[in-house]
Amino acid sequence: MVAICHDDSGISNDPEVRIKVARKIIERAADHGIPAVDVVLDPVVMPVGADNESGRAVFEVIRREHEELGVNTVCGASNVSFGLPERRQLNASFLSMMVGCGLTAAIVNPLHEEVMSAIAGAEVLAGRDNMCMRWIKRSRSKREKT
C-alpha cells in the first residue's frame, strides 16, 4: 500500500504533523490487516523555490518514518526543484541526502545520468550496496559503453 502523508487539512510543512498523519495511516492500514512492512509512505516533497524550509522538513519526515515507524518510503524527487534552474543537479543533491535519511524508493527519470549516479553513490555511502557490487557493476558497464 502506498500512502501520501497528508490528511483533510492539507499538506503541512511541519514534520510533526506529517509524522502524526503517517502514524494514523499505519494504524488504519493495520485495522484492515495491512502490516506496517507493507506500507510505503510518500512524505510529499514540496518545491524549495516556494518555501525554503520544505527541504529540511521532508528530510526530517523521511528520517523519522525510517527510524521511528520502520516503513519504506517513496517520493517524487523532482518536485523539490520545480521552478528552479539546473533541476537535475539539485535533484541529484536532494536524492543523495534523502538516501542518507532513509529513503527507500524514488520516482526519477532513469535517463538523467547525474541523478542515477548520485543515487548509486549515496547507496554505497549509506551501506546499502553490499561490498559496493552495484557501484562496481555500474562503473564497468559505463566503461564498456565507451
Q: Cell numbers of 59, please?
A: 528530510
Q: Each residue of 21-45: pLDDT tens digit? A: 999 999 999 999 999 999 999 999 9
Q: Each residue of 51-93: pLDDT tens digit? A: 999 999 999 999 999 999 999 999 999 999 999 999 999 999 9
Predicted local distance difference test score (pLDDT) of residue 10: 84
* Domain segments of the chain as ranges: 2-145
Q: Which amino acid is at 31?
A: D
Distances (CA, A) of 119 to 8, 47, 58, 69, 71: 33, 20, 17, 23, 20
Rounded CA-CA distance 119/135 in Å is: 10
- Indicate the average pLDDT of the chain: 94
Query: Which of the four pLDDT bands, split at 50, 70 and 90, describes residue 144?
Result: confident
2-145: CATH topology: TIM Barrel (3.20.20)
Mean pLDDT computed over 99-122 = 94
Predicted local distance difference test score (pLDDT) of residue 12: 86
Question: Residue 81 in contact with residue 48, Cβ under 8 Å?
Answer: yes
Give the 3-state secondary structure of residue 42: strand
Predicted local distance difference test score (pLDDT) of residue 22: 96
Question: Residue 18 in contact with residue 12, Cβ under 8 Å?
Answer: yes
